[in-house]
Amino acid sequence: MQDAVVAVSTLDGTHKETVQQVDVAVVGAGFAGLYLLYRLRKAGFTTVTLEEADDVGGTWYWNRYPGARCDIQTIDYGFTFDPELEGAWRWSEKYATQPEILRYLGFVADRYDLRRDIRFRTKVTAAIWDQAKQRWLLATDNGASVSCRHYIMATGCLSSPKPPEIDGVKNFKGEVYFTGRWPHEEVKLAGKRVAVIGTGSSGIQSIPLIAEQAAELAVFQRTPNFALPAHNGPVPGDRKALLDNDRTGYREQARWSLAGVPYPQQTVVSWQLSDAERRERFEKAWDAGDLVYILTQLWADQAVDVDGNALLAELFRDKIRAAVKDPETAEALTPYDHPFGAKRPCLDTNYYATFNRPNVTLVNLRQEPIEAITTSGIKTGKRTFDVDVIVFATGFDAMTGAIMAVHPITGRGGKSLSEVWANGPQTYLGLTVAGFPNLFMITGPGSPSVLSNMAVSIEQHVDWVVDRLTAMREAGFATIEATEAAQAGWARHMADCSMLTLHRLANTWYTGANVPGKAQGVMPYTGGVGPYRSICNEVVDRGMLGFMLSGPSVAEQCNDGEIVRLQPDVRLVLNMLAEMKLPPIESFGFQGARDFVAQFNASRPAGRPVGEIVDGSLPGPDGALSYRLYRPATPGPHPIVVYFHGGGWVLGDEQSDDPFCRDMCRRTGMIFVSVGYRHAPEYRFPAAAEDGYAATRWIAEHTAELGGQPGPVLVAGWSAGGNIAAVTCQLARDRGGPKIAGQLLVCPVTDCRFDRPSYNDNAAGYFLTRSLMYWFWDLYCSPADRTDPRVSPLRGKLAGLPPAFVVTCEFDPLRDEGNAYAEALTAAGVPVEQLQARGHFHSSFTMVDMVITSVSGRVQMAEALRRFAGLPPQATGGDEARRGQLASHKLAAAAG
Ligand code: NA7
């Protein structure tokens, strides 16, 4: 290391001091820092790691409190970059203790001789980017400053403990400990009166052990948490067998999974299971004592849907009630304020049973908040607790604390990171920040980090960063910086992802809510480890999209843009379809295409239950038409919505949009009658239009018989069905009824012009292609008829039509004609509301089971239909979606 230390002038040039010159400086010698050092050295970069502690370990160095363990199973929680390392280390337990993990990290440091490049007991006190030299200068509190081309923060997500935030701590005459800074020497608690404040993972792990030692223990709980028994013991045989049978495959599956642990995506939804089946699944998870399993494997909607989650949370609550004898204590320990998994659940050993001990008292701070800490103990609103020891298990300034609060970081043009992040962290990929060239964060905010197996995420980040530095060096680039556009796009994508899960619905350290005054928004990436990895790879494949690269003797490169413009789940669906390498649907022929659609629909989970489903037939203009009626579970009579399915006038039937009809029936509280109109090419224009009108007329005349509310009906339709709904409104106006109270047009076909930009921009790649639309048109309608308003309603007279809600999707060939129809209706004096769905594709709203981010759109559609029908807003779904939007918009707003 000495070789690299040279005398240079400081930034202001006034005096000389010793500065250590390296290619790359790393801060932190935990999991991330150690692997960085290994990779950087191997890649031939001169490197130094600065570490505040006097040994390696990071989080596992500091968190030495009694009971500290990892809560990812040890076979999944370790380095995988070197099979020989994997072979050389054996974990003793399913969940390793802190000392064992620390030993492991020491073993890794020794094995690769990493310590020689680590400066221990050295804190960075400031970091400044020198634009002229294109280097970072790091000041330290111990020894030489460091000048480096690249600065990588491997500072961990949970390494900056939160201050106590309670008055009077300094007055307390007894012992004070923080779980996140537990002393190295033994802490003797035997015979003492102890208070523990905080019931997150650290509290829940330590409380049972402290209770065994202390004479008395008072646990001060602000928010109860869900805790699953760890059932610690040997590494489970089934998981180990999976790993041993195919180590490479097992690790690879972890890398592409959602949480970084190799579990498949659960596909069975809660409503497909009986109460007994759900309980059976839950009991299995409870007995397995595996946090990732219970968080992901019970049913597909457990983490994405409030109702699906509530079923699981209630089973959990039953367990707490059964474990704790005193009903009042049990009730206080039972969480109601957040969905299961939205706040970090804990893994425990005897936690709930500890409250049955005579020496343990639970103090419910919701009923008696702490007023102050006194010289002798803790005073609440109701009583005083005299104690000898106070343990603060109050958590961390998570995700951003160690990056931002620990030392000032000054980027290009004197920009301070604290100022740039004042409204919340802004990053590109969670790895870089615009305005801070050559600065990288490992598992920074905006990456999956704490919502994943950290070991897997760390390896992915480190590999990506070191590979980029290597590629830059080979190409002659000296600096790399994220662009503002890419970063703003990432913030939008983050906000979109935050709609996928329920994390936005809880006040947690994930959202910054645990630190008073901290900007709030979901900080970790909720889109999953595998999707995140594919996005990082795509950035590279697309020529370092969103990065500016420059070097002394090469031309500057900036391939600007947003890496993900699709909604995250739409991206997954389209990728999945692309992987299927399907031939164009039109190449199947019309019967083959119908069979394909039927097969595709049959493979999807059934939609949610509604009150009743009735199949029937009604008289059409040329024979009977079948219909399917969806009735809400609420008492009727209900207003009726006549619905027309999608399928280009060629495909589908009255059952093919079943999940959408069920969902809308539930959300609107209205009857949906899906009409099986005749299809082309057997029945060409105007058969579908005339069937639509005739069916609407018949339904309006038979509302009472169908159990509907007397009065006007409503119409709705998707795609070609949207076309039929729009046409039906025009025909009803012109042919003397029936009266229609409102029209919902979802991605409707409205015109026969193919020259609007969306037909080109979205011609291919978004499932509904331009050529498929051409095929539909050819099968349904000859060119001479295409300007007839019964197929191109945009060409008809628009005044006097019922109020409309028009939905268009950004990545849909039909987008612009839908927007044109909305504009034309407005111009004709028709009340119009519009949803222009960003990042969505033609099928987003009907793929109810797969496109979670379309929920809020359907909530808006349902609210519109209720308004048209003169009903008050529905409280449930709407509220949930609105809350979600608010939380995610905080991040998007911060991006703006
Ligand atoms: P956590 O999970 O943030 O838990 C901190 C606990 O301390 C939590 O119960 C807090 O209640 C409570 N707390 C925080 N501040 C106060 C004040 N001022 N008064 C009373 N109670 C307070 O931190 P941990 O160290 O347990 O775990 C962090 C992560 O490490 C964990 O999630 C795993 O990923 C590993 P609150 O819930 O905020 O009401």
Q: Does the Cβ of 590 fall within 6 Å of ligand 1? A: no
The answer to whether the CB of 30 is under 6 A from ligand 1 is no
% residues pLDDT > 70 (the chain):
96
DSSP 8-state assignment for residue 142: S
Mean pLDDT value across the chain:
94
Here the tokens at position 109 are 């440091």
Ligand 1 midpoint to CA 163 (Å): 12
Section 189-206 average pLDDT: 98
pTM of the entire predicted model: 0.94
Percent of the chain past pLDDT 90, that is, above it, reads: 93
Q: Which residues pair with 806 in a beta bridge?
A: 745, 834
Q: What is the pLDDT of residue 869?
A: 97
Q: Which DSSP symbol is given to 405?
A: I
CA end-to-end span of the chain, whole Å? 44
Q: 891 pLDDT exceeds 50?
A: no
Asked if the model's pLDDT at residue 405 lies above 80, the reply is no
Measuring from atom 3 of ligand 1, which residue has the nearest CA? 395
- The residue whose CA is least distant from atom 15 of ligand 1 is 394
Instruction: Report the C-alpha gap between 584 and 769 in whole angstroms.
Output: 9
pLDDT 10s digits, 687-719 = 999 999 999 999 999 999 999 999 999 999 999
pLDDT interval class at 16 (50, 70, 90): low
pLDDT in tens, 222-266: 999 999 999 999 999 999 999 999 999 999 999 999 999 999 999
Query: What confidence category does residue 893 fall into, taking pLDDT thresholds of 50, 70 and 90?
Result: very low
User: Token digits for 274?
Assistant: 């009986």
Whose CA is closest to atom 31 on ligand 1? 201
- CA of 507 from ligand 1 middle (Å) equals 11
Q: Which residue's entry shows tokens 């004042």?
A: 422
Residue with tokens 């040279």: 6
Grade residue 772 by pLDDT with cuts at 50, 70 and 90. Answer: very high
Residue 12 tokens, joined: 């202001």
pLDDT digits (tens, 9 = 90+) for 25-57: 999 999 999 999 999 999 999 999 999 999 999
Ligand 1 atom index nearest CA of 223: 39
Cβ–ligand 1 contact at 222 (below 6 Å): yes
- Label residue 156 by pLDDT band (50, 70, 90): very high
Tens digits of per-residue pLDDT, 836-887?
999 999 999 999 989 999 999 999 999 999 999 999 998 654 334 434 433 3
Please state the rounded mean pLDDT for residues 115-136: 97
**For residue 681, cis peptide bond before it (omega within 30 degrees of 0):** yes
Nearest CA to ligand 1 atom 38: 514
* Residue 331 CA to ligand 1 centre (angstroms): 19
pLDDT at 14: 52
What whole-number distance in Å separates Cα of residue 674 and Cα of residue 645?
7
* 79 confidence band (pLDDT: 50, 70, 90): very high
Q: Give the DSSP letter of residue 285.
A: H
Task: State mean pLDDT over 73-81.
Answer: 97
Dihedrals phi, psi of 265, to nearest 5 degrees: -75, 125
The whole-angstrom separation of Cα 225 and Cα 213 is: 24
In sequence order, what are the beta bridge partners of 19?
Answer: 6, 145
Of the ranges 570-574, 668-672, 871-875, 883-887, which one carries the lowest mean pLDDT score? 883-887
CA of 335 to the centre of ligand 1 (A): 14
Please name which of 70, 336, 344, 383 lies closest in space to residue 220, comparing C-alpha atoms: 383
pLDDT for the residue 17: 73
Q: Which ligand 1 atom sits closest to the C-alpha of 165? A: 18
Question: Which distant-in-sequence residues (6+ apart) come within 8 Å of 322 by Cβ?
Answer: none
pLDDT, residue 877, reads 46
Query: Would the CB of 395 count as within 6 Å of ligand 1?
Result: yes
**SS3 track for 266-325:** CCCCHHHCCHHHHHHHHHHHHHHCCHHHHHHCCCCCCCCCHHHHHHHHHHHHHHHHHHCC
Residue 641 forms beta bridges with which residues?
672, 714
What gap in Å lies between CA 669 and CA 814, rounded to an integer? 29
Question: What is the whole-number distance in angstroms between the Cα of residue 67 and the centre of ligand 1?
Answer: 16
Q: Is 47 in the pocket of ligand 1 (CB under 6 A)?
A: no
Q: How far is the CA of 350 from the centre of ligand 1 (A)?
A: 19
Burial class (CB in 10 A: 0-12, 13-18, 19+), 16: exposed
Task: Provide Rg for the chain, Cα atoms.
Answer: 31
Confidence of residue 607 (pLDDT cuts 50, 70, 90): confident
Structure tokens at 669: 């509280």
167 lines ligand 1 (CB under 6 A): no
**What's the DSSP call for residue 513?**
T
